[in-house]
Amino acid sequence: MSDSSAPGSTPASPLEQSVFDEWPDAVRALFDGSSLASKMGFTASLLSVDTNGHVRTSLLGVGELYAPDSRTLCLALWPQARAARAIAQSGRAALSFVCDAAFYQVQLLVTPLAGVTGDDSGLVYLIGSIDTADAQSVHYARLTSGITFELEGEGSAVLDRWERQIEHLKQAAAAAGR
C-alpha cells in the first residue's frame, strides 16, 4: 500500500506512533483476565534471546497473560519452552501483538512469580514490568488481527485450563503486591 497525497502538498507521515509506560485502556481490557471465551483466538508473540544470541518465540493466548495493574504483565509459560529458559537467563522479553487496530511492541523486565498455591499444572509463572513500549498504526490501513488461532477438539478443556491459569496468575500477582 502506498500513501498518496495531492500534488504540491506536503505529505503527512503515514505512520502514527505512540510511546507508553502504562497499558492503554484497550490493552488493559484485553489482559484483564475476564471473559476469556470472547477473546478466544487472540495471540501475542513473546520473544526472548538465549545465551547463544538466538531469538526464541512463544505464542500466547489470553489465558496466559494477565495485567494486574497499569504497568505489569503476568505470564504463564510451559517450563520446557525455549522462551521460558531464555527469559530465566536474561530477565528480558518483548511482547508483540495487534489490538485496537494498532501493532504493539512492549519490552518487559521479567522475574519469576511465586505465591501460587494448589497449582499442579507445572507452568512457570513470571511477572514483567514495562521497560519501553510503543504502538504503531498507519492511516491508510487498519490492522484487524495479528496471529490468530482456533481451538479444535478439546477447546472447552483448554478454556477451563486457562480460567484456572488466570486465577493462579491473579493469586500470584496479589501475593507480589500487584
Instruction: Assign residue 162 the CATH number of its domain.
Output: 2.30.110.10
| Measured distance CA(176)–CA(174) in Å, rounded | 5
Residue range of the domain that includes 87: 17-175
In a domain? residue 8: no
| Measured distance CA(113)–CA(93) in Å, rounded | 15
Structurally, how many domains does the chain consist of?
1
Nearest to 146 by CA among 88, 117, 104: 104
Q: How confident is the model at residue 8 (pLDDT cuts 50, 70, 90)?
A: very low
In a domain? residue 41: yes
Q: How confident is the model at residue 7 (pLDDT cuts 50, 70, 90)?
A: very low
The model carries a pTM of: 0.84
In a domain? residue 152: yes
| Measured distance CA(103)–CA(97) in Å, rounded | 6
